[in-house]
Amino acid sequence: MRKVTLSLLSLLLLMLFAVGAQAAERYRPFVLGSISEGTDVNTKAGEVKQALTSQGFRILGEYDINPDAKVIVVTNDDLIKLAKSHKRAAYIAPWRVAVAKDKKGRIQVSYANPYYLKHAYHIKGSIEPVANKLKLALGWQKDYGSKKGLTAKDLEGYHYTFGMEYFDEPYELKEYKSHDEAVKAVEEGLKAGKGGLSQIYRLDIPGTDVTVFGVAMDGKKGGNRQMDDNFQMQVVDFQDLRTVAYFPYELAVIGNKVEAPHMRFRMAIHHPDLKMFGEHSFKKLMSSPAAIEDAFWKLLGGREQEDLF
């Protein structure tokens, strides 16, 4: 009887240890796939695109932020399926892969961490198939972007600090008579470059009335310095391992309404260790959330009268 009791106790302890280990698992926002020398960004990007398509990913668009930093946006059937798991799940569907030079002139290939964003975006379903295909295509050396990392619980209820937005508190922009009318308004605004914004990709989620756009933000083309992608990169992308896969910003048409993730959430979730004050800090970006919102409103023709008060 004593042996049975000890065996049961041992089993219980093992189960508790396993549960505790699982609960303590921590995630980081980016994955380093590889670092290489002796090539340029565009040559490496060509290799990366070929590797991604060989694993079933479809290229949605490319964004040359500057000569040393490029982002390739892809999707696949696994991501499209996950994009239908709830109202705002479509933000998971476009996947960002960066090819960028580091301080030593080497080429880093990195990408947004699927496990991290699954929890941050409240996605229901397994993202493991996506993670495995990205690893096969691009490699895996380490996860990075946060010293301690965040648990699933941290990510699911994340906001940077008191008064800052959560995932389900986006910029709520313009409402139209129909989904098609809203999409047309966004496309026309992007084509015209209103607010300093231009289109990188458009992704319609099949079987839904949700469309996601990826947008480039250029402060020299109708916006201002605080909303400019290169300005923001100079502030937050200063470590040895680059965080270029933060770009481009998303804009979504959900039903007949246009919205976008709030910058105070989006920037913080991708840079959770960024300090509040200092040379590389949120203080340097204090005016950016309002500048980005203003750019989105300019894209859509300006705020309606009731939104001004």
Q: Tens of pLDDT along the chain (309 residues)? A: 444 454 555 555 555 555 454 556 999 999 999 999 977 999 999 999 999 999 999 999 999 999 999 999 999 999 999 999 999 999 999 999 999 999 999 999 999 999 999 999 999 999 999 999 999 999 999 999 999 999 999 999 999 998 899 999 999 999 999 999 999 999 999 999 999 999 999 999 999 999 999 999 999 998 789 999 999 999 999 999 999 999 999 999 999 999 999 999 999 999 999 999 888 889 999 999 999 999 999 999 988 644 543
In a domain, 123, yes or no: yes
Q: Which residues, listed in sequence order, are joined to residue 73 by a DSSP beta bridge?
A: 61, 96
In a domain, 248, yes or no: yes
In a domain, 15, yes or no: no
In a domain, 9, yes or no: no
**How many Å apart are CA 227 and CA 235, to the nearest integer?**
12
Place of tokens 């960028």: 100
CATH number of domain containing 295: 3.30.310.70
In a domain, 217, yes or no: yes
Question: How many separate domains does the chain show?
Answer: 1
Domain hosting residue 127, numbered range = 27-303
In a domain, 12, yes or no: no
In a domain, 274, yes or no: yes
